[in-house]
Amino acid sequence: MDNFKDKVAERYKAIQNEICKALEKADGSGAFEEELWSREGGGGGCTRIMQNGEVIEKGGVNFSAVHGVLPESVKKAFGVDQAEFFATGVSIVIHPKNPMVPIIHMNIRYFELDDQTRWFGGGIDLTPHYVIEKQATYFHQQVKATCDLFHPNFYSKFKKQADDYFFIKHRDETRGVGGIFYDRLKPENTELSWDEILEFSVAVGKIFAPTYTELINLNKTKAFTEAQKAWQLQRRSRYVEFNLVYDSGTKFGLETNGRIESILMSLPPQANWVYNYEPLKDSEEYKTLQLLRKGIDWV
């Protein structure tokens, strides 16, 4: 068990390093600042943040490996009695400067109570300020190709779960164009071994850099207006609402006494809430809102 936990953590550390190098290269001038931290109760992590880069206004690529005693609220939510836990993962959110470049999020994680109670979770999803359908299709094709390497049903199942999870109920809209979301993966429900599920988790991590770099390069030099920048700040507010109201990772981090700055690194540097904003019909903003719904077949 200890060897497997160590293996997962080491693979995730390597993913963090790989993605940070790729993002620095794609940005051109920005660099990640690193902060090592320890969690009271056990474990710690490595937070890497880029701010005010050429492309990336604020981005975080975080690794953690923590352990200790589960709070009663988390034990109840998980439906378990075991108190000692171990959790490791990589969590990424990138907020670009240019509103034509999409926000992206990825998370891969492993959670363990004992040999009988452990699982993998994670996913990757795209949140464009302006939905460009061809690029949304490209993103989903990359994700599907990775899923198909491991199971023919993974993409369709996890895509639906992403649509359902990344849904802002009080707005009746999806956070973006989705991607995949999965939780509690284990041999009993995947037809894969523990090592194979780990390889799937790592494969999800490895599609991040080439896929997002392509989207950056397609959009980073596009001109934009003040009105489009204002729309970006408006769309960022939806991102904040989801993460603070619904996101399970945020809740888990706060309830297990995680590091606040690392947990909330997903929030953008600036967001606007415009009262009762209604875009003009047939505008690009209006068209984007029509595509923020569940069940779109992007591939």
Tens of pLDDT, residue by residue over 213-238, are: 999 999 999 999 999 999 999 999 99
Check if 95 is active-site: no
CB atoms within 10 A of CB 196: 14
CB atoms within 10 A of CB 101: 26
CA nearest neighbour of 20 among 148, 202, 208, 219: 208
Domains of the chain listed by start with CATH number? 2-290 (3.40.1500.10)
3-state secondary structure of 39: coil
Tens of pLDDT, residue by residue over 17-37, are: 999 999 999 999 999 999 999
Looking at residue 14, its pLDDT comes to 98
Per-residue pLDDT of the chain (299 residues; tens, 9 = 90+): 579 999 999 999 999 999 999 999 999 999 999 999 998 889 999 999 999 999 999 999 999 999 998 877 777 777 777 678 999 999 999 999 999 999 999 999 999 988 888 999 999 999 999 999 999 999 999 999 999 999 999 999 999 999 999 999 999 999 999 999 999 999 999 999 999 999 999 999 999 999 999 999 999 999 999 999 999 999 999 999 999 999 988 887 888 777 888 889 899 999 999 999 999 999 999 999 999 999 999 99
List alpha helices for the chain, DSSP H.
2-27, 72-78, 133-148, 154-165, 187-190, 194-219, 226-245, 248-255, 260-263, 284-290
Looking at residue 1, its pLDDT comes to 58
**Distances 282 to 201, 285, 290 between C-alpha atoms, Å:** 40, 8, 10
Looking at residue 266, its pLDDT comes to 92
Residues 67 and 83 sit within 8 Å (Cβ to Cβ): no
**Which is catalytic among the residues 105, 129, 151, 170?**
105
Distance of CA 215 to the CA centre of its chain: 16
SS (H, E, C) 93-142: EEEECCCCCCEEEEEEEEEEEECCEEEEEEEEEEECCCCCHHHHHHHHHH
pTM: 0.94
